[in-house]
Structure 1
Amino acid sequence: MDSTRVDDPDALVTGEAVALDLPMASLPLRMVASLIDVVLTVVALVAFSVLAALASLDLDTALAEALAIVLVAAALVAVPTTVETLTRGQSLGKRVMGLRVVRDDAGAISFQHAFVRALLGVVEIYALSGTPALLTAALHPRGKRLGDLAAGTYVVRDRVSWTPGPAPTMPPALAAWAAGCDLRPMRPELGLAIRRFLDRAPTLSPAAAAMLEQRLLADALTHVHPAPPPGAPGDAVLAALLAERRRRSAEQLARQDAARRRLTTRRT
């Protein structure tokens, strides 16, 4: 069984990855991840407090208090916001537990999303001992805490098991177009996302399948010229692209293998 992780930032952009197909994170996993993050934050607060105490020896009372406030804000808001922004939704606790924060449309979060989550986390997690976060996550269908509700985000498991089905076959109606088109190289992440979509489309809701199909198709067609015949079904076009890419790769490998055999025969 192939365990596919969506660690690449591109793989979380809803135009490329089948992120809507990722399962929602369970409450126990989120609690463990949050506990890890809280412990790390407390350690950071202690370290910053020591720095503030050392710095206050040479400062007056007002400046020392201002410095303490800045360091606390850095530990509770600035650091979590920076980490989740740079990692596209993963704190250390979430990374350990295989979780990730995504937007409501399953795309990668931005600085704004991370900042809102961290800011409300000060109140619901630290000031109120996590009670509002726990209650809201337990009651919400997507397990959202208050910070997620305000930011428009939720947490998913980004380590999922996937056993690929049979390779897509060439739709007969598109065989001539695919054979004659200019097919530029695709990113591996895009090819994987298309393959996963074709495997799992029957299990998705019609709305999610249609949205993902259109976004994957729009991305894939930037690598193709000319465009497919008008009216061609999107899933058939995606299958044709993968099948043609596989055919051309197989032919290229066969030519390389034949060339190696010829060189070997001549030398012997």
Structure 2
Amino acid sequence: MPPQEAAQLVAVLAATKLLERIPVVKVLDEVLGKFKGVIQNWARKWFLRPRLQPAGGASVDWQLDEHDRDIRHFAKTDEFTAVQDSGSKKDKAWDRFEREDPLPGSVGVSKTNSLFKEVLDMAYKEDRSRVQTFGIPDDMVIQDGRITIVEEAKMYSKKDFERLAELAKENPKQFVREGVPAANDPRQKRFIQLIKHKRSVNYLLNHLDRLKLAKELGITRSDSDVVYMLKVPKHAPEKALNVIKETFEKTLQIKVKIRKIDW
């Protein structure tokens, strides 16, 4: 974990555990509850630093380094949720990853979600067996008749990419359809959902006349060129990425590009 998030967690949990051990009578229950809130707010104020201000005035944004970190697993636990309850979601690492270095001309996460939720609603209403087989991309660019669909490998470590590449070589179909299964916890599953996004895009292009938002965003041709962009952190190993890219292109017959960001 980045140092500031680790410090925040320790401070808040320690304060909470301490207060739980203080014997109080019913008359003091309400006061104690307020006091716990003050302690937690104080801890967030002094220990949560998404951006630190070092000597000289330049801001430093804590990012994941090149070690095999995967804070997404912890970030979805009850403990982390409790720490973040009164904080802003923008402080979570995977949200910062989404905002980092977006593609020029991006329509944005909100509009992308709205468009593809409309696609899913229509497709699932027609055929309930399609449920959970279509995907919603993380972002999208529409420019000069080309659609770029962005999928983010959020918080994946070097080992994650290597495991995905190994599976792609051993069993391409499983790699494309399911990804690497979870070992002990469902959150450990590693799956790049380009096959789901392809289904969504194909449905969108085949039903443009029924999707008003698609036209408003500039998708007007059913034969639009589609490129699938995989956004990854800078520590993702090139060798593994090449295997992943080539497997997707060969198996799904799509164009895939890799975009590394300084994360």
TM over 0.5: no
TM-score, normalised with respect to structure 2: 0.28
More helix by share: 1
TM-score, normalised with respect to structure 1: 0.27
- Which has the higher Rg, Structure 1 or Structure 2? 1
